[in-house]
Amino acid sequence: MQASGTKLALGIYTALFLVFLYGPMVVLAILSFQTGPEGGPQFPIIEWSIYWYKHLFGMTPPTRIAPLPIEEALVRSLVLAVMTMIVSTVLGVTSAQAFRKKFTGSGFAFYLIVLGMMVPGVLVGLGMALIANALGIDRHWWGTTFVLHVVYTYPFAFLVMLAILNRFDQSVEEASWSLGVSPVKTFRKVTFPLIFPGVLSAMLFAFTLSYDEFSRTLFASGRDLTLPLAIYGTFSVEVHPNVFAFGVLTTLFSFALLGTYAVLMMLSIRRARRVAIQEEA
């Protein structure tokens, strides 16, 4: 498409669109450096300081502003995300393996799995709370919430793995089988290294989605808060810049995670390339 006037206009529009996407976060990040404890969550910046970051870690003298209950919540959220990541990746890999063969009812199974990422958290969460209520089970983040997180993240892992396995050269596996290597060993030595980039992506999806997941958690967990619930708790009260500082920190944490993923991905691709070169030689 070469209409240059239109192209220029659309380009400017897209730049504005990106400002719209990032603007609020930038403002939030700037305001997190407001001075404390008297500085509020608005402009102008009275004085630049890292007071609210210290406040988060309990390194400031106590004031009327209660610190965010993040310490235990952070541990819970991380444990929950790791649990969810492991289970949904295993489920995703196994079911995607199953889909490599055509079988009756595959359409039904596919939609059943994908439904998990489409149904809003408010509905599954409510349903799970009702079941726990009727059966007299206590709701906990490691129980009722955990199974719902897997319902949400497992479809993502499944779709990623399906995409990877679709592009996967089966003859390598068949060669291994025909040489008499057992299916389990074939999976470990041949299939798994080939699908590893997909597994890594599935894990990243599952971890970040679970770490952030809120609506399912709200209904299905009991008294113990996870991080998103701790943030949600601040919605109903006056917001102080400590929430903003916390937002900046979680964002940095996510980027660190993304960076780790990128490095691992690059290493695995480089290794695959090296193996390929060795085989050619």
Site for another protein in 120-179 (CB under 8 A): 120-124, 126-131, 133-134, 147-148, 150-151, 154, 158, 166, 170, 174, 177-178
- Interface segment toward another protein; rule CB under 8 A; list 45-53, 67-75, 248-256, 270-278: 248-256
- Interface segment toward another protein; rule CB under 8 A; list 26-34, 63-71, 78-86, 271-279: 26-34
Single-letter code of the amino acid located at 279: E
Choose between 10 and 274: whose C-beta lies nearer to another protein: 10
Both tokens of 201, joined, read 């992506």
| Closest CB 164 distance from another protein, rounded Å | 12
- Interface segment toward another protein; rule CB under 8 A; list 45-53, 60-68, 190-198, 237-245: 237-245
Is residue 22 part of the contact set for another protein (CB under 8 A)? yes
| Closest CB 192 distance from another protein, rounded Å | 15
User: Do the Cβ atoms of 206 and 60 come closer than 8 Å?
Assistant: no
Buried b (16+ CB within 10 A) or exposed e, 239-269: ebbbbbbbbbbbeeeeeeeeeebeeeeeeee
Tell the burial category of 128 from Cβ atoms under 10 Å away from its Cβ (0-12, 13-18, 19+).
Answer: buried
Choose between 100 and 274: whose C-beta lies nearer to another protein: 100
Identify the DSSP state of 137.
P
Is residue 268 part of the contact set for another protein (CB under 8 A)? no
Identify the DSSP state of 29.
H
Identify the DSSP state of 35.
-
Is residue 247 part of the contact set for another protein (CB under 8 A)? yes
Is residue 45 part of the contact set for another protein (CB under 8 A)? no
- Interface segment toward another protein; rule CB under 8 A; list 50-58, 67-75, 109-117, 266-274: 109-117
Looking at residues 61 to 100 of the shown chain, list those that interact with another protein (rule: CB under 8 A).
91-92, 94-95, 97-100
Both tokens of 231, joined, read 């943030």
Tell me how many degrees the CA angle 255-257-262 measures, rounded to the nearest 5: 90
Is residue 182 part of the contact set for another protein (CB under 8 A)? no
How far are the Cα atoms of 49, 50, 85, 203, 256 from residue 208, in angstroms, in the given order? 30, 27, 9, 9, 12
Interatomic CA distance for residues 208 and 258, integer angstroms = 9
Is residue 189 part of the contact set for another protein (CB under 8 A)? no
Cis peptide bond prior to 37, omega within 30° of 0: yes
Choose between 175 and 274: whose C-beta lies nearer to another protein: 175
| Closest CB 72 distance from another protein, rounded Å | 17
Contacts with another protein: how many residues (CB under 8 A)?
Answer: 90
CA-wise closest residue to 30 among 241, 229, 197, 205? 241
- Interface segment toward another protein; rule CB under 8 A; list 57-65, 78-86, 238-246, 270-278: 238-246
Residue from 112, 163, 172, 262 touching another protein (CB under 8 A): that is 112
CA-wise closest residue to 68 among 196, 232, 192? 232
